[in-house]
Amino acid sequence: MLVLLCLFLVPQLVFANDTNLESELFGKFTVTIDDRVNVFIQPAIQEDEEVYLPLRSLFRIFGAQIAWNQNESTTTVLADEKEYLLPMNLTNLTANINNESVISLKMINSHAYIPVSFIKEIMNFDFSWDDESKTLYAVRLPDTATIFINLPEAPKYRVVETFTGIASWYGGKFHGRMTNNGEIFDENGFTAAHRTLPFNTYLRVTFLQKNESTIVRINDRGPHIAGRILDLSKGAAEEIGLRPHGLGEVKIEVLANYKTDD
């Protein structure tokens, strides 16, 4: 499979958040996989002959899922039916692989950016960058076993319960307030409110209309309106395409053994 990623040239000079390095920022970029075209409004960055793209959007387009554990500063990547932990240092803007390999990160508008060369560590792709046309060619490698062998593999989670119902989302005036488990609510995080599930339970939530999924953690109580079974944070609702609809039918899978470090 040949993947073609094109960066439309709309260059300007910007400074990434939390860094003094000057970077070349390009406008929207497009990822084409077979006949499917995906256009992103987030910019791409080129610095020191390396191209950086938004971590969450980039992995999603290659079929991976991302979950951020704020308490442990760890990103979990679910790719090719396997799960990997990437401890991230947002102060020094680095991510660590297997306590040995360190990659640099960029921050733009609170979004983490990773070098495209890092994707093959997770998604098993080989890359070729054409600087003249600003085009990235990605070809999937045939054997994934050797790529994954050096990455720390987390224990697989189990789905212990599945149910469906109507979910809504909340944010706005609730942002910065205290949740029922004592945390400060972050509308951009990946959390949810449920009436009875224990706090810190992880759920995989799928918006059935879009067939998009994300993983959230229960840290609040709700919804407080009859007929609804889950209140998602704004960030989680945006991730699965539910936010513009206000509410929608979702499938909820309760995950066991999702957290690996207590």
Mind listing the domains of the chain with CATH numbers?
Answer: 2-64+106-148 (no CATH), 158-256 (2.40.40.10)
pLDDT level of residue 76 (50, 70, 90 thresholds): confident
pLDDT computed for residue 62 by the predictor: 72
Of residues 103 and 187, more confidently modeled: 187
What is this structure's pTM? 0.43
pLDDT digit string, tens, across residues 182-199: 999 999 999 999 999 999
Sign of the Cα torsion 34, 35, 39, 40 reads negative
Of residues 34 and 110, more confidently modeled: 110
